Amino acid sequence: MLFFGVVGYFMKKFMYEPAPLVLTFVLGPILEQNLRQSLLMSGGSSLIFFTRPIALAFVCSAAAVILFPVFRRLLRFRKMATGD
C-alpha cells in the first residue's frame, strides 16, 4: 500500500493521467497473448506484421504516433536556432 501511495504521489506531482495506466493493465495481457499467437502462427518470424496490409497500416500508424512528437520538437528547435 505504501508503494502504490508513493507511485500515486509521483503521478500526481508529474501530472500523469491514470487512465493510460489502467488501460495498460487491462489490455497488456490481451496484447501479449495475441502477439504470442501471431508469432506461433508465423513460425517465430516477425515479418507477419509487415506482410499483411491491415497489420502494416497499424504498425505505420503506431510509428507515426510515436515519432510525431519527436519530429515536432526537432522542427521547433530548428526554428529557434535559425531565429524564425
pLDDT value at residue 57: 93
Residue 43 contacts residue 37 (beta carbons within 8 Å): no
CA distance 66 to 83: 27
C-alpha cell at 64: 507515426
- pLDDT at res. 63: 94
pLDDT value of position 84? 60
Provide the whole-model pTM: 0.58
Using the Cα atoms of residue 41, residue 46, residue 48 and residue 53 in order, give the sign of their dihedral: positive
Query: What's the pLDDT score for residue 26?
Result: 94
Tens digits of pLDDT across the chain (84 residues): 999 899 889 989 998 888 888 899 999 999 999 999 999 998 989 888 888 899 889 999 999 999 999 999 888 888 887 766
Residues in the chain: 84
Residue 77 and residue 45: Cα distance in Å, rounded?
39
